[in-house]
Amino acid sequence: DVKVTQSSRYLVKRTGEKVFLECVQDMDHENMFWYRQDPGLGLRLIYFSYDVKMKEKGDIPEGYSVSREKKERFSLILESASTNQTSMYLCASSYRTGRASGANVLTFGAGSRLTVL
Amino acid sequence: RKEVEQDPGPFNVPEGATVAFNCTYSNSASQSFFWYRQDCRKEPKLLMSVYSSGNEDGRFTAQLNRASQYISLLIRDSKLSDSATYLCVVPRGGSQGNLIFGKGTKLSVKP
């Protein structure tokens, strides 16, 4: 089975702290994504990446940055955490287009619940 | 019209009932559609893909109506284990793997 592992299930940080959320997948997927999920707002795409060292902004990139130095690892960075970034963060991965529509079959990690005080 | 829109529910149904959810989408060029399932406090997982008129997998049937731009999910003989939130998902035009998620429809199956 494809496995997407997020390093921390629960984090509590203070306003202004720098926060790193790590995500690793073990199935050689090209595509990786970071979403946040909030009640009443659903899943919103923050950033995504189709290849190493490549990144694209999603719908809500403000206040976030990402890093993809290796194919299997996609990190989300909050440079200066704020209370409105309290949320559930979900990492996902998929194959690149051309593999029998596998690009649209996302496998998610278990999520990282971040609380910013 | 919003990009992807779903009735949030909750749909409360007894075991054995048949229940259907609809989802409307705005991008008429969309070619493929998906239903993901998310259990409480868990991550979303793919339930079904819909590429043409429809798809059936056991008790689950997904149908596509391109003229009216909606997809539906029908669950027959509901089980307690079907209780979850069902997310309608549409690919964003031009970007493979970049998906637009609906906010979900919550289903609760009661004994």
Q: CB-based contact (8 Å) between B40 and chain A?
A: no
- Nearest-Cα distance to chain A for B56, in Å, is 17
- Sequence-distant (≥ 6) Cβ neighbours of residue A45 within 8 angstroms: A33, A34, A35, A58, A59, A60, B98, B99
Please answer yes or no on whether B98 and A58 come within 8 Å at the CB atom: yes
Region B27-53: mean pLDDT is 89
Q: CB-based contact (8 Å) between A96 and chain B?
A: yes
Q: Is the pLDDT of residue A45 over 60?
A: yes
pLDDT tens for residues A82-100? 999 999 999 999 887 654 4
Residue where the block lists tokens 């206040």:
A63
Q: Alpha carbon of B83 to those of A69, B38, B75: distances in Å?
A: 39, 9, 11
Report phi then psi at A23, rounded to 5.
-140, 130
- In degrees, to the nearest 5, what angle opens at C-alpha B47 toward C-alphas B61 and B60? 20
% of chain B beyond a pLDDT of 90 = 68
pLDDT tens for residues B49-71? 887 778 899 999 999 998 899 99
Q: Is the pLDDT of residue A1 over 90?
A: no
pLDDT at residue A5 in the model: 96
- Nearest-Cα distance to chain B for A4, in Å, is 11
**Closest of B6, B28, B15, B25 to residue B83, by C-alpha:** B15
